Every structure is written in C-alpha cells, then in structure tokens.
C-alpha cells in the first residue's frame, strides 16, 4: 500500500550518504521547489555524483518525494512532540500555535517543503502525498473532536470531520503564513508589519476565535438573547 519512491540501493547505502543526500535535497527543494531545483547542484552539495543519485532514485520526482517523506516525518516529530497528552483542544491549539511560531525559524525548510507539496500538479501523485502528509492530523483531529463532544468539552451540534477540517485549515495556513513568501506578505497585509514580533497577539486572538467556534452551539444564541 505505502508506495516507496527510492530504489533498493538507497537502503543499502551508508547512513552518512543517505543523510547527506536527503539534507541537500531538502535544502534545495524547499528553497527552489521541485521544478527549479537542479539535480546536478544537489549532487554537488551532497558531495556525491549525479550517477549515484540515479542509482538511488529513478527520477528527480522520486527523489523529491523521498525528501518530502523525510521532512514530513521530522516536522511531525517537532509538532506532535509538543502536543502529546490528553490536553483539551484549546491547550492543544495554543501549543500548536507556539510550536508553529518557533518552527518558522531554524526549521523553516521543512515547512517550506510542506508548502511545495501543495504545488505538485498531476493528481496521481497528489492523492498519495496527501494521505502521507495530512492523513495523521485528519484522523487525529476528527477522533479528538468526537471524544471531546462525548465528554461535553466541545459543542455537540457540529460535524466533527468538518470542524477538524476548519481547525487544520487555520493551522496549516498559519504555518505557511510564518514561513512562505506569499503567505508572509498576506499576513503582513492583514495584520501589519509587526505581527511577526508580537507572537502573543496571534495566540490570544486565534484562541478566542477557536474557543467560541468550538464551544457555543447554534441554539445558544436564542438562550443568550443575542
């Protein structure tokens, strides 16, 4: 089921070669994207011949996908490492937002590569990739909301799958907004230049937004005379 994008030779390669190749690949692909990145340059940066790269991977695309897989694993570790436990959704959200803000520094390349995935055309690869990248959060959020509904922490009049989607949408876009060119400019346009120096503003406002969205039911409006 789970597709592999590398040849057998890659598994036999030494740890040093594998990390060198993946590091250089992630570096270049995250900066330039699949199309613009240059295999010859990546090989040179990795201290490896082009020929060897093509002993490890059939095509440039396969190499790219392997880099993506690796980067997503690390990104997941960073993000999910912060959000373990059985925190309530708002605590979880706050930890996620702060993790996102932190990640936008040194580890920005992983987020950038995440963003590059959304650009890959050709629906064949897209479907496979999405499952690998978003599969976990989709399932996690969905089940989390369901359980929270049962215990009364979250409004019961909502579709858990849809609300998981909205939640993920806001956090995913937030990630891009802290690291990727276009989305950074967009955030600045909406919230001003200084938004990147005022992390707490984002945290409190997004939490306010999410808290209300997840807490109050449609009928509460009448009961509350709004």
Partner DNA sequence: TGTAAATTCGTGAGCAGTCGCTCACACCAC
Partner DNA sequence: GTGGTGTGAGCGACTGCTCACGAATTTACA
The residues binding DNA (CB under 7 A) are 9, 12-14, 17, 36-40, 48-52, 54-55, 59-60
Q: Select the binding partner of residue 51 from DNA, a copy of itself, none (C-beta < 5 to 8 A, by kind).
A: DNA
Q: How far is the CB of 178 from a copy of itself (least distance, A)?
A: 13
182 binds a copy of itself (CB under 8 A): yes
* Share of the chain residues as helix, strand and coil, in percent rounded to the nearest 5: 75, 0, 25
Q: Residue 21 in contact with residue 28, Cβ under 8 Å?
A: no
Among 20, 39, 82, 191, binds a copy of itself (CB under 8 A): 191
Please tell me what DSSP assigns to residue 151: T
Q: Residue 99 in contact with residue 78, Cβ under 8 Å?
A: yes
Residue list 105-124, contact with a copy of itself (CB under 8 A)? 117-123
Residue list 59-98, contact with a copy of itself (CB under 8 A)? none
Nearest of 118, 121, 214 to residue 163 by alpha carbon: 214
From CA 42, how far away is CA 47, in angstroms rounded?
A: 9
Q: How far is the CB of 169 from a copy of itself (least distance, A)?
A: 5
142 binds a copy of itself (CB under 8 A): yes
Please tell me what DSSP assigns to residue 196: G
Longest dimension (CA), the chain: 72
Among 1, 16, 106, 212, binds a copy of itself (CB under 8 A): 212
Among 134, 140, 196, 199, binds a copy of itself (CB under 8 A): 134
Q: Residue 133 in contact with residue 113, Cβ under 8 Å?
A: no
From CA 161, how far away is CA 114, in angstroms rounded?
A: 22
Name the residues that contact a copy of itself, by CB under 8 A. Answer: 32-33, 35-36, 117-123, 126-127, 129-131, 134-135, 138, 142, 155, 157-159, 161-166, 168-170, 172-174, 180-187, 189-192, 201-202, 205-206, 208-218, 220-221, 224, 226
């Amino acid at each position: 089921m789970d597709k592999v994008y590398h040849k057998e030779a890659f598994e036999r390669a030494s740890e040093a070669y594998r990390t060198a190749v993946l590091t250089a690949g992630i570096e270049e692909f995250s900066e330039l994207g699949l199309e613009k990145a240059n295999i010859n340059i990546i090989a040179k940066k990795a201290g490896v011949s082009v020929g060897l790269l093509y002993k490890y991977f059939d095509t440039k695309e396969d190499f790219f996908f392997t880099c993506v897989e690796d980067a997503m694993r690390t990104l997941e570790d960073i993000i999910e490492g912060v959000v373990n436990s059985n925190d309530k959704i708002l605590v979880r959200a706050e930890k996620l937002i702060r993790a996102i803000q932190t990640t936008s520094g040194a580890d920005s390349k992983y987020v950038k590569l995440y963003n590059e995935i959304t650009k890959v055309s050709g629906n064949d690869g897209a479907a496979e990739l999405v499952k690998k990248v978003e599969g976990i959060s989709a399932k996690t959020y969905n089940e989390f909301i369901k359980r929270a509904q049962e215990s009364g922490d979250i409004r019961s009049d909502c579709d858990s799958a849809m609300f998981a989607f909205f939640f993920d949408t806001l956090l995913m876009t937030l990630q891009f907004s802290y690291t990727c060119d276009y989305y950074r400019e967009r955030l600045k346009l909406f919230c001003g230049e200084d938004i990147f120096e005022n992390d707490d503003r984002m945290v409190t406002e997004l939490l306010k937004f999410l808290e209300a969205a997840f807490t109050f039911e449609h009928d509460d409006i009448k009961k509350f005379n709004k």
